[in-house]
Amino acid sequence: MSTTTRLAGWLRDDLDLLWKNRGEDPSTGEWWAMENYPAIAFRDGVSGRRAMLRSGPDVWEVVMVARDYWDDRESLRLHFGESVSQGALDQALAYAERFPEAVEAMIAGNERAERLFAARS
């Protein structure tokens, strides 16, 4: 499904410049994610733009910890303690199910960095 919206010329130009400076295309996926998962936000960093919990870690980090605990939600909650709510953890995992390619790419990048670091040690 596609939706078309008319923007004022100045606003379209500013948005085009914003996305060009970030080296990205506008993402309706980010908007959708933040509307449907209010605990999720996005941040830029050396590893690129990624989904994160407003109250804590990146989504890919939550997924890696969940895998370490064999997806046991109670162990995941205990791992993060009071710093991250169960609702936020649930939203991170739901986001990862909805956008697996983005999350898996971040996990693969982290694993690649770990291998390179280990090779240098």
> In this structure, is residue 22 part of a structural domain?
no
> In this structure, is residue 1 part of a structural domain?
no
CA gap 66, 47 in Å, rounded: 21
Q: Which letter, b or e, does each residue of 96-121 get, where b requires 16 or more Cβ atoms within 10 Å of its Cβ?
A: beebeebbeebbeeeeeeeeeeeeee
| Cβ(25)–Cβ(68) below 8 Å | no
pLDDT digit string, tens, across residues 45-63: 888 889 999 989 999 999 9
> In this structure, is residue 26 part of a structural domain?
no
pTM (predicted TM-score): 0.76
> In this structure, is residue 104 part of a structural domain?
yes
Report how many domains make up the chain: 1
Domain that holds residue 76: 34-120
Is residue 25 pLDDT above 70, yes or no? no
pLDDT digit string, tens, across residues 54-89: 989 999 999 999 999 999 999 999 999 999 999 999
| Sign of the alpha-carbon torsion through 15, 20, 22, 27 | positive
